[in-house]
Amino acid sequence: MVFSSYFPRLVYFTKEYLPDEETARNIVHDTFLSLWNERAKLQDNTNLNAWLFTVARNKSLKYLRHLQVEKKFKEYSLIQQQEIQANQIALSHTDTSELTFQEIQQKIEQTMAQLPEQCRKIFQLSRFEDKKNKEIAEELEISIKTVEAQITKALKLFRINLQEYLPIIFF
């Protein structure tokens, strides 16, 4: 009796908000399943009409939120696919031959030679001897700010001179 009198009305109600009738029917079936599971907890004075429509509404909202999450995931996946394809193309055109690494080493040496003497010394201590800025400052009797500024200056020149090799260098 309850099922036959409420089912068509609940389907009509949920169908207005959901993408298709089959989904609406499934939501309504789930609503009646909730009614069956909760039957012992319902009180005699419970407004069954309000209860059923509230449960159907909440289940519909939950389904619609799920669709939104699914849509965002698909969009994210599409972006990821495009990024993967772009990376494949970039990698297929990346030269990793020994000659390229020799060119990089030569560029590094040329760039080091372009650095002012103090800047070069600070950069070598920082990057090749793995010393902390504070240790370098104490060793050379200069401020930490000077060390930081000189390293920044060196890195800027390296970025400019090694621009075309940066993807390889980071590997």
Q: What are the chain's domains?
A: 2-91 (1.10.1740.10), 98-170 (1.10.10.10)
pLDDT band for position 46 (cuts 50, 70, 90): confident
Decide if pLDDT at 118 tops 50: yes
66-113 pLDDT per residue, tens: 988 888 888 887 788 788 777 677 666 655 566 667 877 888 889 999
Q: pTM of the full predicted structure?
A: 0.48
Cα–Cα–Cα angle for 36, 39, 44, rounded to 5 degrees? 145
Across the chain, which distance is largest between two alpha carbons, in Å?
Answer: 93
Please state the separation of Cα 151 from the chain's center in Å.
Answer: 31
Q: Characterize 82-106 residue by residue with b for buried, 16 or more Cβ atoms within 10 angstroms of its Cβ, and e for exposed.
A: eeeeeeeeeeeeeeeeeeeeeeeee
131-160 pLDDT per residue, tens: 999 999 999 999 999 999 999 999 999 888
Q: What is the pLDDT of residue 87?
A: 67
Q: What is the pLDDT of residue 92?
A: 62
* Portion of the chain with pLDDT greater than 70, in percent: 88
pLDDT band for position 171 (cuts 50, 70, 90): very low
Q: What is the mean pLDDT of residues 52-74?
A: 90
3-state SS string over 37-82? Answer: HHCCCCCCCCCHHHHHHHHHHHHHHHHHHHHHHHHHHHHHHHHHHH
Decide if pLDDT at 21 tops 70: yes
Q: What is the pLDDT of residue 2?
A: 85
pLDDT band for position 43 (cuts 50, 70, 90): confident
The amino acid that residue 116 corresponds to is P
Q: What is the pLDDT of residue 102?
A: 80
